[in-house]
C-alpha cells in the first residue's frame, strides 16, 4: 500500500512540527522575562459622505453599527428571501442584536433602498 507522503515525508513532518507549540504563549511571542510595552494608538477614519434616508431608520438603527451607509447602498439587488437570509446570518453568525420582530421592516427598507 502506498502512503501519500511516504515514511520519509512523515518523519520530516514530525521533525518540523516537533518544535511547535499548539498555542502561542506570551513567552513564545517575546523573550521570557521581558516586559510587555503597550502604547495607545489612534486612527483617523474617513468622513461619511453618504447618509441613509429617514425612511430607512430601521436599517440605520440595526445595520450601521457594523456597516457604513455607503456599503449598504452598494449592495446588489436581492430578493426578499435573500435579504432575510442575510439578516438571519448577521444574527446567528455575527451575533448582531437584531430583534426578529423587526426582520420584515428591515427587509422592506432594504428593498426600498435598492430601487
The predicted-structure confidence for 27-37, as pLDDT tens digits, reads as follows 666 666 677 78
CA angle 42, 43, 45 (to 5 degrees): 145
Regarding pTM above 0.75, the answer is: no
Q: Which domains does the chain have, with CATH numbers?
A: 54-113 (1.10.760.10)
Please answer whether residues 35 and 86 qualify as being in contact, where contact means their C-beta atoms are separated by less than 8 angstroms: no
Question: If you average pLDDT over every residue of the chain, what do you get?
Answer: 85
Lowest-confidence region among 42-46, 54-58, 106-110: 42-46
Give one DSSP letter per residue of 79-100, joined into a string.
-HHHHHHHHHHHHHHS-----G
Please answer whether residues 98 and 106 qualify as being in contact, where contact means their C-beta atoms are separated by less than 8 angstroms: yes
Lowest-confidence region among 45-49, 55-59, 62-66: 45-49
Amino acid at each position: 500500500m502506498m502512503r501519500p507522503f511516504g515514511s520519509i515525508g512523515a518523519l520530516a513532518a514530525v521533525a518540523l512540527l516537533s518544535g511547535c507549540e499548539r498555542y502561542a504563549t506570551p513567552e513564545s511571542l517575546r523573550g521570557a522575562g521581558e516586559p510587555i510595552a503597550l502604547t495607545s494608538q489612534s486612527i483617523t477614519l474617513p468622513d461619511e459622505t453618504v447618509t441613509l434616508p429617514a425612511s430607512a431608520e430601521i436599517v440605520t438603527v440595526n445595520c450601521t453599527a457594523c456597516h457604513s451607509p455607503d456599503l449598504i447602498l452598494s449592495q446588489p439587488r436581492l430578493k426578499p428571501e435573500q435579504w432575510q437570509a442575510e439578516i438571519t446570518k448577521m444574527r446567528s453568525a455575527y451575533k448582531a442584536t437584531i430583534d426578529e420582530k423587526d426582520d420584515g421592516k428591515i427587509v422592506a427598507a432594504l428593498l426600498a433602498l435598492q430601487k
